[in-house]
Structure 1
């Protein structure tokens, strides 16, 4: 069975936009999605592929969540194969043994802000060493060996407007989502 993975942005963070796991499952099931699994409270949902393109699935989810919860929640959806390709494309395999140091920021589309994209490309990697990043299509990989919370590179990258919606997950979460999609 083919699967899709929904990544919800900005829920259950700092007491804002509370959206309990059980409620997440209910909302997905109310749209007719089947075999729904929720990983963690931060909006990671794996479900049977409804046969619609991921962008259409994301739009339907955003509308239903806003209707049910009373606040907007951006949603990025990837197919199981798209998530597997993102895992396989990891440009920092040396980071895998320390999975909390590696993050993927999932973008709703390719960067749309040309000025922001140029600013991202102009970041001086040497200035932020040993932290590194790489943009590959709709995924931005960020490796922060000293931790993301203290990373000057993570801060710099997060301030650059790319003109798309983004949500980040650490490597542990990404690989667990892929395992759920494969189960």
Structure 2
């Protein structure tokens, strides 16, 4: 049984310019005291073609965590555009919010992102070299993809199987297209 339940994630400052920080207000509940920290990460998927373009935007450790309900705002700098293929800068991608305990990921919340020009002229005739200051990031906050994993919460050698729905995996998130 999971000892941590994510109750709510609010996407703040959405939509926003591409170069603005990501901000998530996370509310979670612990059903008992945790002796060790929770490790939260924000990961930006730079390209559907390869994981090599994924960027860990930030990692924060929270804990030790007492039993009860907790809330914090997790803010991370935007991705480094120079590490994203130019063809993938505008269009649909994904941001992942993950949480691990004792190096085992137990939840992943994924959101589709649409990066687009707001100027109709730039939409019709996108520049060869992206103009980051004119790209808007819109996170599809109302439709997160939540994947939960079974982990060993106790400090013993018992192994626990990891379960993951293929429908909610990060790689298959790109198989679905988002229309506006």
**TM-score (norm. length: structure 1):** 0.25
- Hey, which of these two has a bigger chunk of helix by percent? 1
Considering Cα pairs closer than 8 Å and 6+ residues apart, tell me whether 1 or 2 has the greater RCO.
Answer: 1
- Hey, which of these two has a bigger chunk of strand by percent? 2
**TM-score (norm. length: structure 2):** 0.25
- Structure index of larger Rg: 2
